[in-house]
Amino acid sequence: MRGFPAKTRLKTGLFLAFAMSTGLSLAACSDIDSMFGDSNEDMSASDAAAPTAGSTGNPPPPAVFAAPAPTAAPVATATGGVPVATITPVAIEQGPDTGTAVNKTIQTVRNQVAGLEQKLAGNAQRLAELRNSGAAAAGAYQQSKGVITTRLQIGTTKGNPELVAQWNAAQTSLDSLSTNVNQLNALGSDVASDSSTAHFALDQISATFNVSGAVDEDHRQLSLLEDETNQTIVLIDRLLKEVSDDVQRQTSYVANERGGLTALASSIKNGELYGGIPGVSAQTATGGIQLASAGTPLVVIRFDRPGVDYQQILYTALNQALQSHPNAGFQVVAVAPTRGNAAAVQIAQTTAERHAQEVMRSMTDMGVPATRMGVASATDPAAASSEVRVFVR
């Protein structure tokens, strides 16, 4: 804050630290005095004693006045009481025209910095609004998801249309979050552009100090403008970091929830909540399903009777495998018995392949990408019925 009395600079710095730690918004300089109990210093514009244009010699001491504070981004609150960014732009002090060529440059750069302050306030408001809308979409998504999981947990019918409607609502909310991420990316690009402009303005100020033909008042204005530009850069970079953090956080959240929503769709289809059964062993697998031990297939599903209910065990096994190896792929093998004549063996192979395709569709519904699955066929004289074996690869 070059150009202000030492006492005023000290108090202003204290208040800035206090405001940054508590999320308060910095108002006009007169509010600083009243907060610290010092109302004797009148910082109104009427006490300014700026030199007149064209004066010669050393100018009088720089004027101290309270320039009208630009519109600050309000302390907004998102749905659920989530605080959002608070950015208070710097008040750019105007100076008298000394009539020099250097002063013309100062005025040009000052206008650029003042324009950045206006954009800073607007971008801070945009971030506040995007955080509000993102929080609202996340709240709506979690509400729909909670209704679905609760109903599935206590038991419901297969393909319950009420849960399908809730799933569609959750999908819409998640799409809104994806749109929000795209808007945050666009905001980040705008703020990054402002940061480049601010650094360029600072370089111009530094270069102008070396231009001949300036009076002392020009250098005073340059020093003040340099301080204001440095403060502007700090605020822009802070806003850019907040936007970048939001983009990363929301992108990760949406990606994770996409997979969970896909698994919920399969759960609604079967009327049963997948997951929540840690440590499933071969002894707990029923209905012709066997969970294999280490070194063997991850899951062996025996289709020895109609309507084998294998989804829950398959989901648990896949979940455990992906937790241990996030980049794992899966090989689905259709195994047919070799009993009977050639026609019987051919029928058994066709049946096994159909079951393998069914298992792959279930895995896709559970969130496993098709690019990470492969299918193969085999025969096993020891098999008593059609089997599907899932391997980790």
Q: Flag the least confident range among 250-264, 287-301, 324-338, 353-367.
A: 287-301
What is the average per-residue pLDDT within 266-279?
64
Interior CA angle at 43 toward 45 and 41, to 5°? 150
Residue whose pair of structure tokens reads 């750019």 in the numeric block:
92
Q: Average model confidence (pLDDT) for the chain?
A: 76
Phi and psi torsions of 149, nearest 5°: -65, -35
Residues 176 and 241 in one domain: yes
Domain count along the chain: 3
Residues 218 and 362 in one domain: no
Residues 319 and 249 in one domain: no
Q: Is 115 exposed, middle or buried (0-12, 13-18, 19+ CB in 10 A)?
A: middle
What span, in angstroms and rounded, lies between the C-alpha atoms of 290 and 297?
10
Q: Identify the band that residue 33 occupies on the pLDDT scale cut at 50, 70 and 90.
A: very low
- Which CATH number belongs to the domain containing residue 226 in this structure? 1.20.58
- Which CATH number belongs to the domain containing residue 326 in this structure? 3.30.1330.60
Q: Identify the band that residue 307 occupies on the pLDDT scale cut at 50, 70 and 90.
A: confident
CB of 3 within 8 A of CB of 93? yes
pLDDT in tens, 338-386: 888 878 888 888 888 889 988 988 888 777 888 888 888 888 888 888 8
Q: Is residue 81 in some structural domain?
A: no
Residues 156 and 41 in one domain: no
What span, in angstroms and rounded, lies between the C-alpha atoms of 368 and 263?
9
Percent of the chain at pLDDT exceeding 70: 73
Amino acid 369: pLDDT: 84
Instruction: Single out the residue in 215, 250, 273 at which a domain terminates.
Output: 273
Q: Is residue 79 in some structural domain?
A: no
Amino acid 61: pLDDT: 43
Q: Is residue 11 in some structural domain?
A: yes
Residues 291 and 237 in one domain: no
| Statement: residue 43 has pLDDT above 60 | no
Q: Flag the least confident range among 30-39, 208-217, 247-256.
A: 30-39
Q: Report long-range pairs for 248-255 (Cβ below 8 Å, ≥24 apart).
A: 250/134, 250/177, 250/180, 250/181, 250/184, 251/181, 253/138, 253/177, 254/174, 254/177, 254/178, 254/181
Residues 121 and 212 in one domain: yes
Q: Is 290 helix (H, G, I), strand (E, B) or coil?
A: strand
Residues 216 and 295 in one domain: no
Instruction: Single out the residue in 253, 273, 293 at which a domain terminates.
Output: 273
Residues 326 and 208 in one domain: no
Q: Is residue 387 in some structural domain?
A: yes
Which helix or strand (DSSP H or E) is residue 222 part of?
Answer: helix 216-270
Q: How far is CA 190 from the centre of its chain?
A: 17
Amino acid 47: pLDDT: 42
Q: Is residue 156 in some structural domain?
A: yes
Q: Is residue 56 in some structural domain?
A: no
Phi and psi torsions of 373, nearest 5°: -130, 145
What span, in angstroms and rounded, lies between the C-alpha atoms of 140 and 146?
10
Residues 185 and 333 in one domain: no
pLDDT in tens, 232-242: 999 999 999 99
Residues 318 and 231 in one domain: no
Residues 179 and 299 in one domain: no
CB of 303 within 8 A of CB of 337? no
Q: Is residue 53 in some structural domain?
A: no
pLDDT in tens, 145-181: 999 988 988 888 888 999 999 999 999 999 999 999 9
Instruction: Single out the residue in 234, 256, 273 at which a domain terminates.
Output: 273
CB of 362 within 8 A of CB of 380? no
Amino acid 8: pLDDT: 39
Domain range for 32 is 1-47+63-69
pLDDT in tens, 97-125: 999 999 999 999 999 999 999 999 999 99
Residues 221 and 290 in one domain: no
Angle between helices 311-324 and 342-365 (to 10 degrees): 60
CB of 359 within 8 A of CB of 314? yes
Q: Flag the least confident range among 43-52, 182-191, 375-384.
A: 43-52
Q: Is residue 88 in some structural domain?
A: no
